[in-house]
C-alpha cells in the first residue's frame, strides 16, 4: 500500500492548522507557502476536509481555514481515509467493492483482511497532537 501525495499533503495541512490552532482562520495562501504546496493542489484537498467536518472555511477578508476541534481529537486514520478514500491494500476490501467471487475459497483474503485491520488500527491510534509532539509510534 502506498499513501498518495494527496494523503500526505492532507496530513501536512492538518498539522499546520493544528500548530496554529489558536490563531483563528489561516489563509490558504499562508498554508500553501508554509507547506510548499501549490494553491491548485490545496483547492483539491481542502473541500474534502471541509465536507467531512475536519476543518471549516471562511470566505471573506480575514478568512481562511481552521480546525473544527482540538488537535488531540483528530486521528491520522480518519484524515487519510478522507484524502485517500480508503486504506484497503487490495481492491476486494475497498469500501465500495462488491464481494469477490473468490471470497469463499481465497487463500490470501484472511491475510489481506488482517493487514487492513492492522493498518487502520495503527493510523487510528495516532493523533495530530501526537504528530506535532513528535511521538514515535511502534506496534
Mean pLDDT of successive 10-residue segments in the chain (139 residues)?
92 97 95 96 95 94 93 97 91 77 83 94 95 74
Look at residue 138 in the predicted model and tell me its pLDDT: 56
Dihedral sign of CA atoms 12, 29, 81, 76 in order: positive
Look at residue 10 in the predicted model and tell me its pLDDT: 97
Look at residue 63 in the predicted model and tell me its pLDDT: 87
For the entire predicted model, the pTM comes to: 0.89
Look at residue 4 in the predicted model and tell me its pLDDT: 94
52 and 58 Cβ atoms separated by less than 8 Å? no
Look at residue 137 in the predicted model and tell me its pLDDT: 60
Please give the C-alpha separations between residue 97 and each of 30, 80, 101, in angstroms, as whole numbers.
38, 18, 11
Look at residue 114 in the predicted model and tell me its pLDDT: 95
Look at residue 122 in the predicted model and tell me its pLDDT: 94
75 and 127 Cβ atoms separated by less than 8 Å? yes
Look at residue 33 in the predicted model and tell me its pLDDT: 96
Amino acid at each position: 500500500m502506498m499513501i498518495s501525495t494527496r494523503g500526505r499533503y492532507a496530513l501536512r495541512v492538518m498539522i499546520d492548522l493544528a500548530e496554529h490552532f489558536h490563531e483563528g482562520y489561516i489563509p490558504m495562501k499562508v498554508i500553501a507557502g508554509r507547506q510548499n504546496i501549490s494553491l491548485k493542489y490545496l483547492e483539491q484537498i481542502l473541500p474534502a476536509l471541509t465536507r467531512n467536518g475536519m476543518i471549516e472555511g471562511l470566505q471573506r477578508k480575514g478568512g481562511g481555514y481552521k480546525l473544527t476541534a482540538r488537535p488531540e481529537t483528530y486521528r491520522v486514520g480518519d484524515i487519510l481515509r478522507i484524502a485517500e478514500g480508503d486504506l484497503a491494500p487490495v481492491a476486494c476490501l475497498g469500501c465500495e467493492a462488491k464481494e469477490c467471487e473468490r471470497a469463499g475459497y481465497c487463500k490470501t483474503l484472511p491475510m489481506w483482511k488482517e493487514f487492513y485491520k492492522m493498518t487502520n488500527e495503527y493510523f487510528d491510534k495516532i493523533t495530530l497532537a501526537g504528530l506535532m509532539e513528535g511521538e514515535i509510534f511502534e506496534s
